[in-house]
Amino acid sequence: MVESAESILLKYWGYDNFRPGQKDIVDQIHDGKDVLVLLPTGGGKSICFQVPALLKSGLTLVISPLIALMKDQVENLTSKGIPAVALHSGLSRDDTNQILNNALNGAYKLLYLSPERFTTQNFKGYLPNLNISLLVIDEAHCISMWGHDFRPEYRKIKSIVAQIAPHLPIIALTATATPKVQQDIQRNLQMEEADLFKSSFNRTNLYYEV
């Protein structure tokens, strides 16, 4: 029996319903379409790609710029019984290769790594043999020179992936993107036709007084 997005959400997260907009994003990704998601911090971005990762048969690669963020998400996923792992600079080469060999054998559903790790020769050697079903670009504003956390290695991601899996669906997510940064993200990831999902950044529990 094929699990639905709703059954996965309930099984692993204990929620009966998605937040507004989340289910549409999940459906678009599951259908193999590129998606750009602009949601505020705490808006539920991670569920938007973690649920589709469990719906798909292969491995989901998650490019993330912060080790602490990767570790936090992996710990959260593994605590729910979801096989996930992070490659980061704190690992030895032997540990890294062991994780990648496990990934080749289908041991994980989500593999987190930094853009710098993604572009190493060692990782690129494994990449063609990984059964990748979805590419996630978290903190996608880092791809833009107009963003506040520019990371040049982000700009190499699409060209590397295009050589291995040119039709691999991409979901790019960020909580901080001006229209200029948004255009830069789409252009560099070659996802100009991607569906855009954006919610209000207004916080009803905050007010400003001058």
Looking at residue 21, what is its pLDDT? 87
**Given this model, what pLDDT does residue 1 score?**
45
**Which residue ranges of the chain lie beneath pLDDT 70?**
1-2, 199-205
C-alpha distance from residue 184 to each of 1, 154, 161, 162, 181 (Å): 41, 12, 18, 18, 5
Sheet of 132-137: strand order equals: 84-87, 110-113, 59-63, 132-137, 170-174, 35-38, 195-198
**For position 199, what pLDDT does the model report?**
67
Q: For residue 200, what pLDDT is reported? A: 56
Residue 27: exposed, middle, or buried by beta-carbon count in 10 A (0-12, 13-18, 19+)?
A: middle
- Residues 36, 194: contact at Cβ < 8 Å? yes
**Mode of pairing for the β-strands spanning 110-113 and 195-198:** unpaired
Type of residue numbered 96: T
Q: pLDDT for 169-191, tens place per residue? A: 999 999 888 889 999 999 999 99
pTM of the predicted model, to two decimals?
A: 0.90
CA distance 41 to 139: 11
Q: How far is CA 53 from the centre of its chain?
A: 9
* Pair 50, 210: CB distance under 8 Å: no
Q: Which tokens hold the place of 210?
A: 């001058």
Rounded CA-CA distance 58/143 in Å is: 25
